[in-house]
Chains A and B, each alone.
Chain A
Amino acid sequence: MKVNRTELTWWERLYLPTLLNGFRVTLRHFFSRKRSGVYGDKQKKFAAKTTMQYPEEKWDVPTGYRGAPYLVKDVDEKTKCVSCQLCEFVCPPRAIRITPPGDTGVVDRDGAEKMPKEFEIDMLRCIYCGYCQEVCPEEAIFLLKDYAITGESREELIYDMEKLLELGGADKRAYDHHVQDGVGEGIKKWETKTREAGEQPEFH
């Protein structure tokens, strides 16, 4: 193959145009406001920067993102979990361990028969599959936004119930995070289930 080389003019061969162009381009970038298309319209506060200062600033993850699973509280700040242990059974890597209350259990709200004595999630084992959220009849566990779970020891990364409840926060936040198309006010699994039950063919 023959490569056609462009014949440079005398002025171009003098190397000066390249040099001046280099000065121009580098200066423009040096003083530019480091605007990046990556963050675009979504995140105005990062719009002027190309690089995100990571541990201090984090991506605001999209709605429905499956981060770390946390327990949520109901509107009265009470535990929603009723210790049915479905999540424990469904969990593929067996990251969840629930200690049921036994005979001496106490509950902190009406309408619940029991609540777990201890609820632990090993964040090192969790694979963020979301089965626990899927299976929970009480909508007590949700995969929220946290995606960078770090610690200095293995023990530190086994989150107990107190910590999970604190990190989970109010269930409104969890609903807002998992708002799906056409579901205005959260997931409300029971409504779906009721509707589905109603749609079952009747057997006489």
Chain B
Amino acid sequence: MLVSITGLFAEPWVLTLLKVVCLFAVVMPMVAYAVVAERRISAWIQDRVGPNRVGIPFTNIKLFGLGQPLADGLKALVKEDLTPAHVRRVFYWLAPAVAMVPSFVVLAVVPFGSMLGSQRMVIANLDVGILFTFGIVSLGVYGVVLAGYASNSKYPFLGGIRSTAQMISYEIAMGLAVVPVFMLVGDLNLGSVIDYQRGGAWLLFKQPLAFAIFLIAIFAETNRLPFDLPESETELVAGYNTEYSSMRFALFFMGEYAAMIAGSALMVVLFCGGWMLPLGDYFNTPAQSLGQGLVHIAVFIAKTAMFLGLMIWVRWMLPRFRYDQLMNIGWKRFLPLSLANIILTAIVLWVMHS
């Protein structure tokens, strides 16, 4: 029996499944606490207190409101799941799932640590890593568009339309922004991108323009302020998810935050050295022991959390762009800039190599 269990662990699919489960078990609480962090940080910036009541259930222990996700989740689960009569039912039911799945699938190719035992800490070590990512991220727009279309009512419809235009525009800028990164690295595998940045040679410093464009494009892709036109509460009620309630709405919500986490993770991998820290060999070579491996994963999560914090922070910093300004920035500023960046990088590489 024992032999068969150890034999089972030698099977690659078992380990992959284990990694998937573990990743999910880490990302879901991160989503939950990103929501709490969003609410608390927003509150502090606006001189409010924020949710600080819910603690451990059935006790008076409040824990600074860290029990809030439990209450929110329970509320979403037990609320009435309302399907309006005028919706296109199949698409209406499909949309929340379609909105949520891509965000999680992106995480499959992200190397979130070095090694744990003999296992590389990435679920799918794809050689086309970044292309896969862009392919999947583009699918994210379908959830929003489907929701807007299926709701069959004006505000979600407008939200859906805006989101299509916005996501497609910024997809291009985002894709072109990272081209110089891969010109420098010479490989599309995200693991090699991290290896390239060993010892503090972060691409953030080598490609600041690419980083800036990518960062802003991620804001637009995840529908965060100042690019939250698909939702824009002040004009479109709640945008594409106006007609949704209870768990379906919660799925959209979780999908949005999972997309934020995926975007942050991508930024960490591409520009901020992934799990590496410029603090000597311990943080820069693949882990030999379990403890070192866990430290590397912790470093990665900490960096991701920092980007999440930035996304929440920026939300209260800038007002929403007008639709034409959004298109202007996407097509007339970022597209030429990223193209120029590619050409500049190409010239520098050509001069250095010849």
Spell out A's residues near B (CB within 8 Å).
Answer: 18-19, 22-23, 25-26, 29-30, 32, 34, 36, 49-51, 53
**Can you list 8 A-B contacts with CB-CB less than 8 angstroms, sorted by A residue number?**
A19-B317, A22-B314, A26-B45, A26-B313, A30-B41, A32-B47, A50-B47, A51-B48
Chain B 12-53 interface mask (CB, 8 Å, partner A; 1/0): 000000000000000000000000000001001111110000
Q: Name the residue of chain A whose CB is nearest to the CB of B48.
A: A51
Beta-carbon contacts under 8 Å, B297-342 to A: 313-314, 316-318
Chain B 279-303 interface mask (CB, 8 Å, partner A; 1/0): 0000000000000000000000000
B41, B49, B317 pick with most chain A CB within 10 angstroms: B317
Q: How far is the CB of B308 from chain A (nearest CB, A)?
A: 16
Q: How far is the CB of A197 from chain B (nearest CB, A)?
A: 56
The prevalent SS among residues of B at the interface is loop
**What residues of A have a CB within 8 angstroms of the CB of B316 in the complex?**
26
Q: Are A29 and B49 in contact (CB under 8 A)?
A: no
Whole-angstrom distance between the alpha carbons of A23 and B48 in the complex?
Answer: 18
Whole-angstrom distance between the alpha carbons of A40 and B244 in the complex?
Answer: 43
Known A29-B44, A50-B49; 19 more pairs at CB < 8 Å: A18-B318, A19-B317, A19-B318, A22-B314, A22-B317, A26-B313, A26-B316, A26-B317, A29-B45, A29-B47, A30-B41, A30-B44, A32-B47, A34-B47, A34-B49, A36-B47, A50-B47, A51-B48, A51-B49
**What residues of B have a CB within 8 angstroms of the CB of A18 in the complex?**
318
Q: Name the residue of chain A whose CB is nearest to the CB of B333.
A: A15
Whole-angstrom distance between the alpha carbons of A195 and B49 in the complex?
Answer: 54
A19, A49, A51 pick with most chain B CB within 10 angstroms: A51
A22, A25, A26, A34 pick with most chain B CB within 10 angstroms: A26
Q: How far is the CB of A8 from chain B (nearest CB, A)?
A: 13
**What residues of A have a CB within 8 angstroms of the CB of B318 in the complex?**
18-19, 22
Whole-angstrom distance between the alpha carbons of A26 and B45 in the complex?
Answer: 6
Q: How far is the CB of A13 from chain B (nearest CB, A)?
A: 10
Spell out B's residues near A (CB within 8 Å).
Answer: 41, 44-49, 313-314, 316-318
Q: How far is the CB of A22 from chain B (nearest CB, A)?
A: 3
Q: Name the residue of chain A whose CB is nearest to the CB of B53.
A: A53
Q: How far is the CB of A25 from chain B (nearest CB, A)?
A: 8
Q: How far is the CB of B307 from chain A (nearest CB, A)?
A: 15
Q: Name the residue of chain A whose CB is nearest to the CB of B316.
A: A26
Q: Name the residue of chain A whose CB is nearest to the CB of B329.
A: A15
Q: How far is the CB of B37 from chain A (nearest CB, A)?
A: 13
**What residues of B have a CB within 8 angstroms of the CB of A36 in the complex?**
47
Whole-angstrom distance between the alpha carbons of A19 and B319 in the complex?
Answer: 11
Q: How far is the CB of B336 from chain A (nearest CB, A)?
A: 15
Also in contact, A50 and B48, with CB within 8 A (given A18-B318, A22-B318): yes
Q: How far is the CB of B4 from chain A (nearest CB, A)?
A: 56
**What residues of A have a CB within 8 angstroms of the CB of B314 in the complex?**
22
Q: Name the residue of chain A whose CB is nearest to the CB of B314.
A: A22
Whole-angstrom distance between the alpha carbons of A36 and B314 in the complex?
Answer: 24
Whole-angstrom distance between the alpha carbons of A51 and B317 in the complex?
Answer: 22
A18, A25, A30, A32 pick with most chain B CB within 10 angstroms: A30
Q: Name the residue of chain B whose CB is nearest to the CB of A34.
A: B47
Q: Name the residue of chain B whose CB is nearest to the CB of A50.
A: B47
**What residues of B have a CB within 8 angstroms of the CB of A25 in the complex?**
317
**What residues of B have a CB within 8 angstroms of the CB of A50 in the complex?**
47-49
Whole-angstrom distance between the alpha carbons of A36 and B49 in the complex?
Answer: 13
Whole-angstrom distance between the alpha carbons of A34 and B314 in the complex?
Answer: 20
Q: Are B44 and A23 in contact (CB under 8 A)?
A: no
**What residues of B have a CB within 8 angstroms of the CB of A34 in the complex?**
47, 49
Q: How far is the CB of B158 from chain A (nearest CB, A)?
A: 25
Whole-angstrom distance between the alpha carbons of A18 and B318 in the complex?
Answer: 8
Q: Name the residue of chain B whose CB is nearest to the CB of A28.
A: B45
Q: How far is the CB of A21 from chain B (nearest CB, A)?
A: 9
Whole-angstrom distance between the alpha carbons of A25 and B318 in the complex?
Answer: 11
**What residues of A have a CB within 8 angstroms of the CB of B41 in the complex?**
30
Q: How far is the CB of A57 from chain B (nearest CB, A)?
A: 12
Whole-angstrom distance between the alpha carbons of A51 and B51 in the complex?
Answer: 12
Whole-angstrom distance between the alpha carbons of A22 and B47 in the complex?
Answer: 15
Whole-angstrom distance between the alpha carbons of A25 and B316 in the complex?
Answer: 10
**What residues of A have a CB within 8 angstroms of the CB of B48 in the complex?**
50-51
| Contact partner, B317, options A23, A32, A53, Cβ 8 Å | A23
Q: How far is the CB of B216 from chain A (nearest CB, A)?
A: 10
**What residues of B have a CB within 8 angstroms of the CB of A53 in the complex?**
49
Q: How far is the CB of A68 from chain B (nearest CB, A)?
A: 26
Q: Name the residue of chain B whose CB is nearest to the CB of A18.
A: B318
Whole-angstrom distance between the alpha carbons of A51 and B316 in the complex?
Answer: 19
Whole-angstrom distance between the alpha carbons of A29 and B44 in the complex?
Answer: 7
**What residues of B have a CB within 8 angstroms of the CB of A26 in the complex?**
45, 313, 316-317
**What residues of B have a CB within 8 angstroms of the CB of A30 in the complex?**
41, 44-45
Q: How far is the CB of B313 from chain A (nearest CB, A)?
A: 6
**What residues of B have a CB within 8 angstroms of the CB of A51 in the complex?**
48-49
